[in-house]
Amino acid sequence: MFQNLVSPAVGMYVGDDEPFIMKMTMAGPARCFPRGLDVMAVLGSERAYEILKREGDTEYEGKDTSYDKQLTELRKEFNAFEVADWNRNLYWAWLYALRPLLEEFGEGYLSFKERSRLESLEGILGRLIDISKGELEGRELKENDYEFIRNFGQELDSIVAGVEAEGKETTIVADVHTDTNQPRQVLEEGVGYVDLILAAYKVPDGRIILGAGPVFSYYEFKHPLGDRLTDEKWKEMLEQGKAPERPSWIESFYAE
């Protein structure tokens, strides 16, 4: 995806601004970096595409090519994949796991080990779905529903029991693209500490209640090529308060 959504594959920048991923090269203003949103756009997310378009990240054209043309071709290619194609290895399977966020999930779930833990998780999620449907239909929750909401976190603890502490940490980072134009940089995608999400919802008697819970944080930034980050370095940056700015597009739902 990334190789086909950066210059010269998409042509050169034809806008009049200075987007995050655009960089001046000997050949002119080029799309030297992809974005994490590109992946979601290829997988079919119109929301991701809208953000990319708004921030000028789609304004690239060349002879017989453009960002939009490349995106359309990639969507066709990935939409044609069969289940076996998506599960050819662990990395493709990770990408496949994102698709349910964007569309109806079809047949083809893999079978795993750890069956009892996954069945327990399935039961918890099933109960939460039933409760959510009840709320959306305006039904008053019962006391045992509220009790379940208050305590299901403890049940989740039992599901991950035995997993090493490192396996539960959210602070991970990976460089996903290298740009050799000066200054030489890599694109880093990182997850920091969990954030608190607040959601307002109305109960049948008309009251509006705030629900709270954990949600992953997201970082996307350029970093010197000679200092590729490890999870340990990234964790140190977070601990020392040296984390980069969050992507500007999260401002519609995020506040310090």
Tens of pLDDT along 21-46? Answer: 999 999 999 999 999 999 999 999 99
* Three-class DSSP category at 217: coil
Is the residue at 95 inside a domain? no
Other Cβ atoms less than 10 A from the Cβ of 176: the count is: 16
Residue span of the structural domain in which 202 resides: 169-252
Is the residue at 164 inside a domain? no
Is the residue at 105 inside a domain? no
Is the residue at 90 inside a domain? no
Same domain as 191, residue 134: no
Residues of the chain with pLDDT under 50: 105, 109-112
Same domain as 224, residue 174: yes
Same domain as 174, residue 203: yes
Q: Count the domains in the chain.
A: 3
Same domain as 179, residue 227: yes
pLDDT of residue 209: 82
pLDDT of residue 14: 96
Same domain as 200, residue 238: yes
pLDDT of residue 19: 92
Same domain as 133, residue 189: no
- Count Cβ atoms within 10 A of the Cβ of residue 99 and give its class: 0-12 exposed, 13-18 middle, 19 or more buried: middle
Residue 201 near residue 141 (C-beta atoms within 8 A) = no
Same domain as 70, residue 46: yes
Is the residue at 85 inside a domain? no
Same domain as 248, residue 174: yes
Is the residue at 109 inside a domain? no
pLDDT of residue 173: 95
Is the residue at 102 inside a domain? no
pLDDT digits (tens, 9 = 90+) for 83-127: 999 999 988 998 888 887 776 545 554 433 756 777 888 899 999
Same domain as 176, residue 243: yes
Same domain as 244, residue 180: yes
Is the residue at 44 inside a domain? yes
* Through-space distance between the first and last CA atoms of the chain, rounded to whole angstroms: 33
Which of 159, 186, 217 is the C-terminal boundary of a domain? 159
> How far does CA 185 lie from the centroid of its chain?
22
